[in-house]
Structures are given as structure tokens and as C-alpha cells.
Amino acid sequence: MRRDVLLALGFAVVVVLGGWRAGLVQQPPREPDLVGYALMAAAALGLAWRRRQPVAALAGAVGFSSVYLLVGYPFGPILLAVVWAMFEYARRRPLRDSALAAGAAAAVSVAAVLPRMTSHLNLPALGLLLWGACWLAVPWSLGALLYLRRHAQAQKELELIRRALLEERIRVSREVHDVAGHGFAVVAMQAGVALVVLDERPEQAREALRAIRDTSRAALDELRAVIENIDSPSDIASLVEQVRAAGVEVRLEHDELTGASDGQRRIAYEVVRESLTNVLRHAGESGATVEVHQENADVTVRIANDNRRRAQLGEPGRGIEGMRERVETAGGTFEVTAGRRFEIRARIPR
């Protein structure tokens, strides 16, 4: 507000000096006097509120300038106050409102200068046309153009926000699906083992129940991390141990991935988790091989079933497509080979 007031004061000085100079050049019906200078200053100073109260600024500029011209003072820079106020109002208010305001301002301004134009020029229609075009139509058009541009940009940003929110919902839903699916698959496998050995080997049943408890806690921790949007654990070795505890043979070969980024480690973990979930659902008796290596700046992941009964890690579906989307979104490659051996190969760039 302080900057606007200083700018309005400077503009008022220019308007007053310009009005004084215009009185010397023109031969108006009335020479500028104290009242005329006061009207010029009031029209200019009202622009200090053009941001906070654009309606008041426009009304003041139109009202004071109309009185100034109706009394008979010379044409001068006071008209620039109307131009500036009209421009500011048009670029800050909706198009319909600014158009109505421009029409009202045109009617008042034309009514103020009509007696002078008809008496001197005898071409009232041409004068009215030039007046509206120069002092109201042009600033309104420029202001309205800026408003439409800003409105379009705001709509574009809003659409981007909506799209980002939708993508985030999809990501969270997918994470919940993968975490819950893996946890339930492990728990179901371990519960089946516990039921089989409950009477004959109670100690093994007890171990299976402990594994169910640990797996459930880990799954709940991951779900909580997903919902709270924090980094969830991505320890592939612990993930493999959970599956092994369910009675599935898994051979693991992996590097420490010390040079990999957090995103690479997370995506590799998600690919292994979803693949092992499919092992538990479709190929538990055949086991699987998991290989995670770092090659230069890339992380490579390979999961394959041992093909004892030509079992597969699962037909391509939602889980496979989810893994593919994760990897390809990060700029990597994802391949699935289905046949005598079912393999998933992913390369995740840094």
C-alpha cells in the first residue's frame, strides 16, 4: 500500500502540472483554479486503492474527471486517471463485471463532455466514438486480455494440481494393494503350514505363528508409511526371509546397492515384492531366484521361477502392469518372458 500511495502521489503531481500546462495551451471555457487542481489531484490519488478497491478507484477517477470536464476545465492528463483505473479494474475483475463497468464509465464520461463536443465540433457522433475508443475501450481491452490470460493460467495450474492429486491417489492405492497383497499371501502360506503341522509338530506351528505375527507387523508398518507419505523400508533381504519363512525356497543374489539412489532401491524392492507375492500365489512349490545387482549407474533386477512344475510367477495382469509402470516411469526398461521359464527383468536408471 505504501508503494501504491507513493506512485499515486507522483502521478498526481504529473496530472496537476499537465493540467496547468494544458490551460496555457488551450482556450477552455474555464481556466484551471484551486477547485480544478483539487479535482485533478483527487482523481489521481484515488489510484492508490486500485489494487485493494478497484471499484472505488474507477468510480473516483470517472467521477472527479467528469465533474472537471463538465465544469469546463481544459482537457489534460486527468483523462489518464480514467485510463489507468479502467485498465486496473478490467485486469482484476471478471470479464462481465468489467464490461458493465466500462459501459457505465463510458456513459458518465460521454455525458460530461457531450455539451462541449457538440458546441465546438458539431460532430457529436464522431466525437463520442473517438472518446469511447481512445479513453475506455482500449484500456478495458488490454486489461480484459490480461485477466483472461491470468485466468487461463490459473485454470491450467488447477488442472495440474487435480492431475497430481489423482496420480497420488493412484500411487497410494497401488502401494496399499501391493503391501497388503504381499502380506496376506505370506500370512496365508504360513497359516496353512501351521494348520498342517499343528498336531504333529507344535514347535514348527509355533514358529509359523511367530512368522505370521512378524509379517503382519511389517505389513502394517509399510501401510502406515504409505498412508503417512514417508519412506517405507526397502530391505530386499528381509523381504526374502519373510517368504522363506512361509516355506518357499528362494535363492537370493544381490549387491548392497551402496551407489544407488533411494528411488532406485525403492523401485527394485517393489518389483521384488510384487514378484514374490506372485510366487506365493502361483508358484510356491517351485521356488524362485532373485538377483539384484548394480551395473555402473543402473540397478538390474531379475526374478525367475525354478520351473519344477512349469509354474509361473503369475499371468501378466494388474501386478505385472504395476511393476512395468513403476520402472518405465523412472526411465527404465521392463521385460517379461513367459514360457518354460517365467522371468521378470528390470533395469532401473539412476
Angstrom CA distances, 25 to 17, 19, 28, 32, 75, stand at 13, 10, 9, 12, 10
Which of 69, 22, 72, 20 minimizes the C-alpha distance to 43?
A: 69
The residues of the chain scoring below 70 in pLDDT are: 116-134, 226-233, 283-285, 306-318
What CATH number labels 249-350? 3.30.565.10
The pLDDT assigned to 299 comes to: 93
Give 95-134 pLDDT, tens digit per residue. 888 888 888 887 787 777 777 665 555 454 455 556 655 6
Which pLDDT does position 314 carry in this prediction? 45
What does the block give as the cell for 348?
532401473
What number of H helices and E strands is found in the chain?
11, 5
Measured distance CA(194)–CA(123) in Å, rounded: 103
Q: What is the model's pTM?
A: 0.49
pLDDT of residue 310: 46
| Region of residue 326 (phi > 0: left; psi between -120 and 50: alpha; otherwise: beta) | alpha
The grid cell for 87 is 485498465
Whether the CB-CB separation of 193 and 204 falls below 8 Å is answered with: yes
